[in-house]
Amino acid sequence: MHKSTINIDVVLDDKKIPDSISWKASDSSADDVQAAKAMMIAFWDSGDKSALRIDLWTKDMMVDEMGDFFFQTLSSMADTLQRATNYADLAGDLKAFSKSFNEKFRAKQLAENKAD
């Protein structure tokens, strides 16, 4: 049996706010540690039938980057749902929602920038 390992390092400032996030996977094609500004990890607890989540982002993560991160994460969740269940209709609904979310997020950003 093959074992794969993912190491995640989070450096916190004195107020315990993430200052930096880095990760390395044993089966990754990247040789070096990879930097990230945000991460979302979810584990399924089948005993409790609940998702256990870790969501972190660094203090230098920009709001527009967070919007892109959510859009891409929601879109990739739709792809995963399709592969795992073959429920193309529900995956399509999630893709449509992610697209709508992205459009609304960008419109909100534009409105806020015009107000400044």
In the predicted structure, residue 15 carries a pLDDT above the cut 90: yes
Residues 11 and 55 in one domain: yes
Domain that holds residue 33: 1-59
Residues 37 and 79 in one domain: no
Q: What is the pLDDT of residues 16-64, one digit of tens each?
A: 999 999 999 998 887 899 999 999 999 999 999 999 999 999 999 999 9
pTM reported for the whole predicted model:
0.89
Choose the final residue of a domain: 10, 37, 59: 59
Q: What is the pLDDT of residues 56-82, one digit of tens each?
A: 999 999 999 999 999 999 999 999 999
Q: What is the pLDDT of residue 115?
A: 80
Residues 85 and 114 in one domain: yes
> Which is nearest to 37 in space by CA: 15, 70, 63, 59?
59
